[in-house]
Structure 1
Amino acid sequence: MTVTQYQETHLPGILAICEAENWPSLPADSARAHAVFTAPGVTTVVALDGDQVIGFAYLQSDGHIQAHLSQMAVHRAYRRKGIGRALLEYAAPLTGAQRVDLVTDTAEDFYQSFEHRTYTGFRIYPS
């Protein structure tokens, strides 16, 4: 597995993961999805198995203090193998922020495994 920054060639793999999760917003318009992943203040990273996208994360940040994990998913066949953690550990320093906030309704146990404080969501403090 390799974790790297997003390139447009990764877009079909990311959109396939979104479709598998029943997340329609990004797959509805691939040009808009690419614009989201490359917008100012956005950090987008992918996990690859060879050339196959097996996970992605995108975060929005002010570049100094605050970042927000907007969306992250790992292909179902690759879950529980450390890929989500690898994505966050790679992406967080790229944001320039001191902390990452997020909201989840499905992955509380995963996010609790990071150093955090619980508010309405989680605040992750990357190393």
Structure 2
Amino acid sequence: MNPARYERSHLAGVLTLCEAEGWPSFPADPERAHAVLTAPGVTAVAALDGNEVVGFAYLQSDGHIQAHLSLMAVSATHRRPGIGRALIAYAVPLTGAQRVDLVTDTAVKFYSSFDHHTFTGFRIYH
């Protein structure tokens, strides 16, 4: 697996991973998804197996202190050999941030394996 910065050629693979996870926001509008993944302050990376996107991570950051891991997914057929951990290890330094916050309801065991603090949080919708 080779981690790489996100490129437009990775978009179809990212959308496929989002669809597999049941995350509708990116697949609903691929051009918007590409705009989000390349927006200022965003670090987006892909895990590649040859030309196949087998994982991706999307982080937002102020570039100095704080980053937020907004989305990360690894293909069900490629889980367990360390791709998620490799994505985080590759992406976080690219953000320039000292810490990363995230919300998860499915990967608590995975994220708990990192040096971390747990906080109560909220997601506000409008």
Q: TM-score range by the shorter chain?
A: over 0.9
SS state at 2:105 partner: coil
Counterpart check, 1:100 vs 2:62:
no
After TM superposition, the score normalised by the length of structure 2 is: 0.94
- How far the C-alpha of 1:8 sits from its partner, in A, is 0.2
Instruction: Provide the residue aligned with 2:76 in structure 1.
Output: 76
Give ranges in structure 1 of 5+ residues lacking alignment. Answer: 122-127
Counterpart check, 1:91 vs 2:101:
no
- Looking at structure 1, the residues matched to 11 and 90 of structure 2 have their Cα atoms a distance apart, in angstroms, of 19
Counterpart check, 1:34 vs 2:39:
no
SS state at 1:106 partner: coil
Instruction: Provide the residue aligned with 2:124 in structure 1.
Output: none
Instruction: Provide the residue aligned with 1:124 in structure 2.
Output: none
Higher strand share: 1
- How far the C-alpha of 1:119 sits from its partner, in A, is 1.0
User: Which letter does structure 2 place at the counterpart of 1:7?
Assistant: E
Instruction: Provide the residue aligned with 1:15 in structure 2.
Output: 15
User: Which letter does structure 1 place at the counterpart of 2:95?
Assistant: T
After TM superposition, the score normalised by the length of structure 1 is: 0.94
SS state at 1:64 partner: coil
SS state at 2:81 partner: coil
Instruction: Provide the residue aligned with 1:55 in structure 2.
Output: 55
Measured on the aligned residues, the alpha-carbon RMSD in Å equals: 0.7
User: Which letter does structure 2 place at the counterpart of 1:103?
Assistant: V
- How far the C-alpha of 1:22 sits from its partner, in A, is 1.0
- Looking at structure 2, the residues matched to 2 and 103 of structure 1 have their Cα atoms a distance apart, in angstroms, of 26
Query: How many residue pairs end up in the alignment?
Result: 121
SS state at 2:89 partner: helix
Tell me, yes or no, if the aligned pair for 1:103 and 1:120 is still in contact at 8 Å.
Answer: no
User: Which letter does structure 2 place at the counterpart of 1:24?
Assistant: P
Higher helix share: 2
Give ranges in structure 2 of 5+ residues lacking alignment. Answer: 122-126
- How far the C-alpha of 1:83 sits from its partner, in A, is 0.3
- How far the C-alpha of 1:59 sits from its partner, in A, is 0.2
Instruction: Provide the residue aligned with 1:110 in structure 2.
Output: 110
Tell me, yes or no, if the aligned pair for 1:46 and 1:87 is still in contact at 8 Å.
Answer: yes
